[in-house]
Amino acid sequence: MQGILSEKLILTEAAILERLRRNKDISLCCHVDHAKLIYSKTGAESLKRIYSEYINLAIDAKLPLLLATPTWRASSERVSLAKAPASINEDAVNFLSNILPKEGNVYVGGLVGCKNDCYKPQQSLTYKESLSYHRWQIDKLGASKADYLMGVTLPAVPEALGIASLMSKHSKPYFISFVIGSDGRLLDGHTIQEAISHIDYQVSPKPSGYFINCSHPSFLDVSSQLPDRLIGIQANASSLTHNELENRKTTHSDSISEWGNLMLHLNQNNGFNILGGCCGTDSRHLEYIINNHN
């Protein structure tokens, strides 16, 4: 998989969970969100339909695609509370692998999220707490057939460092993805460069690269020198601040063209070769990137 990271444009999925939340036919688990959907006919079909949209777009465009398992909340603690099978992480990898067509350049990643609210850095774990809390899930995904590992929606450095340390013990490429505010900093106040340097200095092997996710692309200051190790973004469709989004009762999205042009600027001028979506995005956002990239 490492060889594709030199490609000029790689796609990731757009929103999965956020789209399912708007599906009245789907009931999400209060503990593991959409992870248990793989075990029900309706849930599995809904997951497959969304993933397949993104897969087909990438294949038609002849672009590599990074997908991630629906295991954002599938930690040991939450899996136990949900009374879900202990094999849920491995089962999610197998579920996603089984819907891939034989053709195409599509990779399956094992996804891990922060323990608590990704918009509240004060709830983030310390480094030692992170090692204890995330170890079970990362070991499960690390031993699975996943092509890579990914820690996402991380608003604070200590928990991200713990996740990176655990992922580094497995012989798979892995990525760390931060949530940033409209000031371009992690929500705990660190600059992106500080966060990257802190993790790179303490972990070996280092992450294959760093992402931003669950944040609008306008939050990045493209006029400054962004870190070279920052290679991807899965961006929200809305430029509202996190507090503004939290207080809204309905989904807010900026225009697809505005979002897409910001994303393409990051690709063409700032070294972001991996582009995808987060909250508020869908196939139309990926289509815009595909149709307008050089």
The two beta strands, 65-68 and 274-277, are unpaired
- Which DSSP helix (H) or strand (E) runs through 58? helix 41-61
CA distances from 223 to 88, 212, 219, 220 (A): 43, 17, 12, 9
Q: Is 93 exposed, middle or buried (0-12, 13-18, 19+ CB in 10 A)?
A: buried
pLDDT at 290: 98
pLDDT in tens, 41-80: 999 999 999 999 999 999 999 999 999 999 999 999 999 9
| Beta strand segments in 130-273, E | 148-154, 174-178, 209-215, 230-235
Q: What is the mean pLDDT of the chain?
A: 96
pLDDT at 1: 76
pLDDT at 244: 73
pLDDT at 248: 64
Tell which residue, 146, 213, 228, 130, has the closest CA to residue 178: 213
pLDDT in tens, 134-174: 999 999 999 999 999 999 999 999 999 999 999 999 999 99
pLDDT at 250: 66
Tell which residue, 37, 72, 24, 69, has the closest CA to residue 51: 69
Both tokens of 246, joined, read: 């939290």
Q: Are 157 and 189 in contact (CB under 8 A)?
A: no
pLDDT at 240: 83
Q: Are 206 and 199 in contact (CB under 8 A)?
A: yes
For the chain, domain boundaries: 2-292
CATH number of the 2-292 domain? 3.20.20.330
pLDDT at 247: 66
